[in-house]
A and B are shown apart, each in its own frame.
Chain A
Amino acid sequence: MADTKHVLEEVLRTLEAAGWQKPPTEASAEPRKSSTFVSTLPFVGVTIGILSFGAFAVLQSGLDPDAKTAIAKVRDDAKTAITKAQKDAEIAIAKAGGELKQAQIDLAFSRLAASQAEEETRRIAALLEESNQKVLKYVETSSGRESLEAAVVLARIGRASLKAGNYGKARDALDQSIRILDKLLSTKTKAVEPQQAQVLLDLATALLKSNELPNALIQATHSLALFRKLMDRHGEAEALALLGQINEARGEIHEAQTHLEQAREIHQGTGDWNKEVRTLHTQSELFRKAGQEARANELRERAAVIVQKHGAGAPQKPPQKH
């Protein structure tokens, strides 16, 4: 492309050399400014670009505004119900000294509120599962069916199904996730291993809930080995607690107690008192079932001391049921 300004200057010089007179330069002559419309075009372009990326981000999140509002509402409801349950429980404990009967009634009410909270948690999980399915569709298109991102979303779907009580669905999603992670292990070891450990733990939980105990034991052991390799203390304790539950379900009470004790020690070491109390309750329940009431009471008392030490108002989960 010819530079027009340069050509015109060349013409001017040629004519000047040929004796053409140049007029005196006008003092007022200002260079022409580009029009406002043209100068604002880049700004308009950038604004449209930003808006497009905003819309893109919303689409990528895989959640439509309605689902987000519904989840927020359900979450608020669950929070309210849980708070109510805790308050009722606190009142019940306070009354337990002289008015045991009233305390039992209050506890019954608090359990009812807790079950409502549980039901609402399931509703949240179902909504999350639906949203994650949308995200999975997006991830499969953008990163491929067998990408780390797809495996992560499948694991999230599995976890949501687990919380919603759909154990079959949870197993399918977690199985798929594990298969993808296994394929990616040789190339992306560092990114895959933590995911794999967690997915195996979730898969073992789903298998335990479906009463497939031998398989659950294998997956939980594998998960424990991975968490130990990664030096993830929290994960290790979770895997040990799960192994305790699996062994309890298998009738291997001694092994269950060993695993639970190891989990409790880790929780104590990491300062996770809430989980320590939960593990103590599970251990106590095990001893009670085995007819060792004295040992069961001792563990319950230890749990109560820990709760008291950290404040009665702090959240405390009830012992896990299988």
Chain B
Amino acid sequence: MAASDQIVEVVNSRIDKAIRDNAGSERLISVVLITLFVAGIVLILWGAYHEQWTFLVPGGMAEMALVFPVRQLVKMRADNMSLQVIPPMLRLAGTDDAKTLAMELIQRLIRQL
């Protein structure tokens, strides 16, 4: 195996590990998201059924708080896409020009995060 291929393998394994880590966090955030949503809905419906209108406040706040896990999930999906682009690109970078372009793309991705 050429030295360049070895480097690409090291980079790919690092990226694969990062994507795996993200998948675990993604599941956790999804659970929080679903819990918040269900809790909010239950509070609102329970409050409405029993005419306890004060329950609308925590219910509404729980629904509002959904914004944060949703934003986090969207960001993680975007990050994963950035990471997944790199391995095939590095494998295809045979010439010096292609390598420079690959490096440029990685720099661009860093700036975008």
Say whether B107 contacts A25, CB under 8 Å.
Answer: yes
Q: Does A97 contact B (CB under 8 A)?
A: no
Cβ B111 vs Cβ A7 within 8 A = no
Closest to A41 in B: B67
> B48 near A: Cβ within 8 Å?
no
Q: With A and B bound together, what is the CA distance between A9 and B107 in angstroms?
A: 8
Closest to B12 in A: A11
Q: A2 with B111: in contact, given A7-B15, A15-B11, A45-B67 (CB under 8 Å)?
A: no
For A52, what are the chain B residues with a Cβ–Cβ distance below 8 Å? 56-57, 60-61
The CA-CA distance from A14 to B110 in the complex, in Å, is: 15
Interface string of B24-36 (1 = CB under 8 A from A): 1100000000000
Contact of A56 among B19, B54, B82 (CB under 8 A): B54
Contacts of A55 in B (CB 8 A): 56
Q: Which of A10, A12, A21 contacts B96 (CB 8 A)?
A: A21
Judging by beta carbons under 8 Å apart, are A23 and B64 in contact? no
Q: Kindly state whether residue A141 has any CB partner on chain B within 8 Å.
A: yes
Do residues B57 and A56 form an inter-chain contact, with CB atoms below 8 A?
yes
Decide yes or no: A21 and B14 within 8 Å by CB, A45-B67, A52-B57 being known contacts: no
Residues of B within 8 A of A (CB): 3-4, 7, 10-11, 14-15, 17-19, 21-22, 24-25, 52-54, 56-57, 60-61, 64, 67, 71, 76, 79, 82-83, 86, 90, 96, 99-104, 106-113
11 contacts between A and B (CB under 8 A): A2-B19, A4-B22, A5-B110, A7-B18, A8-B82, A10-B14, A14-B11, A29-B108, A32-B112, A49-B64, A59-B54
